[in-house]
Amino acid sequence: MGSLYKQPDLYIENSRYIVSKYDFADDATRFFYDNFATMYETFIQTINETNVNAWMTQVEERLKTYKLYGGYPLLKTWMDLAESDNFRSYFSTVKKFSLIREYQRQGFPSERIMEFKNFEKLSAKDVYKLIRSKADKIFTVIDGDEESRIINEGMIDVVNSCLVTPDVGLPYPFEIMNELFKGMMEQTFFCTGMASNEGKSRFMIMLVAYVSLVLKQKSFVMLNEMTERQIRHCLITTVLNNKEFKSVHGVDITKNEKELTLGLYKDNNGNLITRKTNEDGKFAESEEEYVSRLAKTSDEYNKVLTVAAWVEAEMEGRIYLKELMRYDDATIEFEIRKHALIHNIKYVFYDTLKNDDSTIGDWASLKLTTTRIKQTINELNTRIKS
């Protein structure tokens, strides 16, 4: 508990292995873990005395229990004692005793395990091996593994289930892709390969905008080449010019990205509007005056503003963006897990697919990266596009 409250992001990669009702025998420890998990996923990821106390006071019974167990002073003691770098060691110890307690509840001679020579050095898997012949099912529940299944059972149910719920995903804004891939399917990792400057990022932003603004789904975009500013320019240009969005926002306009980024607009007579300057070439009107004149004389400018305002209104926190300073496998997996867990993200986009810069150009390493991403989204039931 001390390590988690001290370094909350440890929760991202470890929460899927922690089973509260098995792993914490002490009521106080279980209480603080369960509340930490709820806080981290739904309330706030910055853990400090003010935030913890604010969370606990929201429910009277919760606050009463919090005070009974010692409140924040107890947590502070745990955090002072914890060495977050030793978290894997703490975790291993918790899992070991979690298994022993469950064996004991099921009638196995767990006390004999604790008498085993070098017991302190045993891992959870070592404990399991000692009584493996009768403990497979218990270990599966605790460790989170799944039993194998007989694939040919229930085939009639599979056929009939498709009558009720057809096996299709969200539609792409491209009909041929819907025909080929049945839409954006769950647990699917879709990669597009192009040479430089052939439109990878703009293709991705088209999908991001369609998923978020037309289909009203949350998405998470990871970047390692384009900047946030460049992506914003690309997003507004995409929404301005494509029919999929025009049919929704209702503004009929065509405006290329170059003109948008250079701030070039024409008046209603087709003449380019520029900011007034004096004979020395210095601006003779303020920014506010220039913008006001644009609004009065350019329908084009007003249409772009209308679409920009529509994008802002429709976002509602649906597109999350992160510029990756590192893009090794662990960082990529961490960001996907974090956004799926905290923001309930179901659609992830990554531009451009690459792994650690020490292995760029190594095809085998890139395959390992894609495999790790695929395993992550299978577990999280997330869709990803790169």
pLDDT at 318: 87
pLDDT at 211: 93
* Assigned token pair, 298: 């350019």
* Per-domain boundaries in the chain: 2-143, 175-385
Global pTM exceeds 0.85: no
Cis bond upstream, residue 188 (ω within 30): no
φ/ψ of residue 88, rounded to 5: -65, -35
pLDDT at 138: 59
pLDDT at 311: 92
pLDDT at 32: 95
pLDDT at 122: 81
pLDDT at 256: 92
pLDDT at 207: 93
pLDDT at 143: 58
User: What span, in angstroms and rounded, lies between the C-alpha atoms of 60 and 279?
Assistant: 71
pLDDT at 332: 87
pLDDT at 163: 82
Per-residue pLDDT tens digits of the chain, which is 386 residues long: 999 999 998 988 888 888 888 899 899 999 999 999 999 888 777 788 999 999 999 999 999 999 999 999 999 999 999 998 899 889 888 988 888 888 888 777 777 777 777 788 888 777 777 766 555 555 555 655 555 677 778 888 888 888 887 778 888 888 888 888 888 887 788 888 888 788 888 999 999 999 999 999 999 999 988 888 999 999 999 999 999 999 999 999 999 999 999 999 999 999 999 999 888 888 899 999 999 999 999 999 999 999 999 998 887 778 999 888 888 888 888 888 888 888 888 899 998 887 766 666 677 888 888 888 888 888 777 666 65
**28 burial type by CB count under 10 A (0-12 exposed, 13-18 middle, 19+ buried):** middle
Name the CATH superfamily for 175-385: P-loop containing nucleotide triphosphate hydrolases (3.40.50.300)
Task: Give long-range contacts, CB 8 A cutoff, 24+ apart: 283-286.
Answer: none
From residue 336, how far is each of 71, 248, 348, 372, 377 by CA, in Å?
A: 33, 30, 7, 11, 8
